[in-house]
Amino acid sequence: MVENATENAKVIYLFFRNKGWTAQAISGLLGNMQGESGIIADKDELGGGGGYGLVQWTPKSNLVNWANSNGLNYRTVETQCKRIQWELENGKQFYATTAYPLNFRQFTQSTQSPTYLASVFIHNYERPANPDQPQRGIWAEEWFNLLSDTTEKPLDPKRNFGVKISYFLENEVLEKLTEFRSAFPQYSACLEYAGNQKYSIVIQPFTYLEVNAKKMEIQGKFPHWTMAVAELVDFSTRKALLIAPFKGVEVGEAFLKIKKRFGFSMTINPSPYGDAGRVDYSKELNKNSIVVSPFSSGEALDKLNEFKKAFPSYAANTFLEQRLENAEQYHLVIQPFAPVEVKDALNEINGRFSSWMKNIQAFHNVGDPKAILISPFTGSEVTEKYLLVKKEFGYSMEIVDA
């Protein structure tokens, strides 16, 4: 069967829209695919350079071996789209540059122009010897104008359905999801909260002509699981994880631990739960702090632990505070000290950490409760992320609109 670039582009557009990518990002991707392969999936690099496929994976084996290991046909548009999504989810191939400092996740969520995003993709993903190829931006704008108005629609529930596997308890559902994905890597599966600490695995979309056969196929592998054909679940709303309340002295450390473990896009915000978690420091306001700074987000946790090990007597009253001037830097704050003792304490600390910048400041009133907001997530991924964070850290969280 001869491939058609326009029909391929429509399939690619719908695939990534249903993964939560913006129309602009997909158009930037398509502009690059047109330059790489003419948007033809089963295409080797002209001149024998070793590239292959929609984005010309080089060497070709990068795609072929991955597809074979997942039971997929590497020649198809769908498989190659799945490979790109896998690269996004696993931090592969796309790397932020000084000129274009977007990471892959930020690229997929950007609403900047298709022209700009085409340049981001060629510099950060394709990385050819000559990245100055403005024609890709022109193509990106053309695809945006052609597709964003005509194909940016949710899947029609009258023609598409899913298979829903219910119910699993919170302490087992992640394991069950992993088990399903291992058995059926070719299908898109996600989690849906069903209430009362129970969850469903949702596999979609399937056409009405194939969904019953797909259900029977899955049931054959997992005969003891309860499953049914179901209407499509709308996962189009962008979501976030809200973790709160934190005390002001604990939020910086908690934030960095989550970021170090998962690499999510996160912010520290005021808690939305009123005075819950508030600490009254009114009796300490006439005292002093010793502030050590600045440390980058990548080193702050290690510095905190190093300090606590050196000065266990100060450990309980030492915390990390995000700098207002730069959210990627942190103060190490030790308090409270009476004015008559703070200089001796400073000299003591300076004797152990002479190279660290230190100064005496007024007491840091961190009594207001805080929250950590982790976002954005697609509706299809947020429940899984919620459970992963909860399993790792045990925090009280909720899923909110992004």
Instruction: Choose, from 7, 36, 231, 398, the residue flagged as catalytic.
Output: 36
Return the biggest CA–CA distance within the chain: 85
Cβ(239)–Cβ(400) under 8 Å?
yes
**Annotated catalytic, 89?**
no
Instruction: Say which residues have a Cβ less than 8 Å from residue 238's Cβ, sequence separation at least 6.
Output: 20, 375, 376, 377, 378, 379, 401, 402
Structure tokens, 277: 């978690």
CB-count burial class (<10 Å; 0-12, 13-18, 19+) for 384 = middle
Which residue, 385, 371, 295, is CA-closest to 333?
295
Cβ(43)–Cβ(34) under 8 Å?
no
The Cβ of residue 328 has, within 10 Å, a number of other Cβ atoms equal to 11
Rounded Cα distance, 19 and 6, in Å: 20
Catalytic residue numbers, as ranges: 36
